[in-house]
Amino acid sequence: MLGSGVSALAGTFFTFLKSGDHVVCSDVSYIAVYRLLHQYLPEKYNIEATLVDTADLDALRKAVRPNTKLIHIETPGNPTTRISDIAEIAKIAKQAGALLSVDSTFASPYLQHPLALGADLVIHSLTKYINGHGDSLGGAVIGRRELIDKIKRQAMVNLGGIISPFNAWLIMRGVVTLPLRMRQHSESALKIARYLEANPAVKFVYYPGLESHPQHEIAKKQMSLYSGIIAFALRADPAAHNKFVNSLKIIIPAVSLGHDESLIVFTGPDDERNHFYPQEFSGGHLRFSVGLEDADDLIADIEQALAQAGLKSNDRS
């Protein structure tokens, strides 16, 4: 266990990459991964990085080089919920002699098992679903003993990414209810995603459990349920998105995800990763982490906030 999801990610990168190595990574991923692999490691440590759409296996194959030591994917990806095919990418990594690390935070260990699909390392931000209560920070890397021993030395000892005992205790308390919570998050998120998809005020909805999701079939193959994160946008400008978010009464406008409470965050079109997002996201998007509240209450909250933002919604009286 490490001090945060980021320390688990950074510990993995620092352990298995050195100057002159090459890493392939999802082009859409958590902001710290994007910055570490896109800017920090290339500029400071001469580690080459290629960011590709890892849902596109041909693009991924083309990105691999003789000095590729690591393929790092995030599935579902933050914030788009893009799904990458773990089993197929594991084959590509094996052939290339590279390790495959999978950030499985959005799915949690209850819904997806990357090691069983051929990944070498699985990374979780424990801060999210595994703790589940939004009151502690933690990270974990899971894999073969010889790999984990190396990460332990580097991330815990050399980089000091150790978790505090109190945070570890909170997470151990929270994880007990993980199966119950993940079933509820998934059930509510599917209901809300279907509601959003049918709503004329909504521009698009990405949720891996929707048949319309571009990688729904892959999600079906490798996830047992689809978790609680929905990406969507309104047919409106950024000001109306902000008005919508600030009018919500149950759903809390805040970063982070996977908590008992519903959280939503609006990312405007000025985001530094915007050019990597699917085209629909370019006007800005919302990342909605569906909490454990009653799904109908959440839908009612969305309805009233859409009305406050002057957007015409479904008439669901």
Question: Applying CB under 6 A, which residues contact ligand PLP?
Answer: 4-6, 30, 74, 78, 103, 105-106, 125, 127, 137, 139
Q: Which is nearer to ligand PLP, 106 or 277 (CB)?
A: 106
Give the nearest distance from C-beta 67 to ligand PLP in angstroms: 26
Q: Which is nearer to ligand PLP, 137 or 302 (CB)?
A: 137
Computed on alpha carbons and rounded to an integer, the radius of gyration of the chain in Å comes to: 19
Give the nearest distance from C-beta 13 to ligand PLP in angstroms: 12
- CB crowding 178-196: b at 16 or more within 10 Å, else e: beebbebbbbbbbbbbebb
Give the nearest distance from C-beta 129 to ligand PLP in angstroms: 10
Closest CA to 251 of 172, 316, 196, 206: 196
Q: Which is nearer to ligand PLP, 112 or 127 (CB)?
A: 127
Closest CA to 208 of 193, 221, 190, 226: 226
Beta sheet of 252-253, edge-to-edge order:
202-206, 229-234, 285-289, 263-267, 252-253
Kindly tell me the sign of the dihedral angle through the C-alpha atoms of 317, 260, 233, 267: positive
Q: Which is nearer to ligand PLP, 5 or 174 (CB)?
A: 5
Give the nearest distance from C-beta 106 to ligand PLP in angstroms: 6
Q: Judge contact between 246 and 192, C-beta under 8 A.
A: no
Take residue 125 and report the two structure tokens written for it: 């931000």
Q: Which is nearer to ligand PLP, 79 or 96 (CB)?
A: 79
Residue 18, classed as helix, strand or coil, is coil
Q: Which is nearer to ligand PLP, 141 or 311 (CB)?
A: 141
Residue nearest to ligand PLP (CB): 5
Take residue 25 and report the two structure tokens written for it: 């990574």
Strands 229-234 and 285-289: antiparallel
Q: Which is nearer to ligand PLP, 137 or 298 (CB)?
A: 137
- Measured between alpha carbons, how far apart are the two ends of the chain, in Å? 48
Give the nearest distance from C-beta 231 to ligand PLP in angstroms: 12
Give the nearest distance from C-beta 99 to ligand PLP in angstroms: 18
Give the nearest distance from C-beta 224 to ligand PLP in angstroms: 19
Q: Which is nearer to ligand PLP, 68 or 125 (CB)?
A: 125
Give the nearest distance from C-beta 124 to ligand PLP in angstroms: 8
Q: Is the peptide bond before 76 cis (omega within 30 degrees of 0)?
A: yes
Residue 75 DSSP code = S
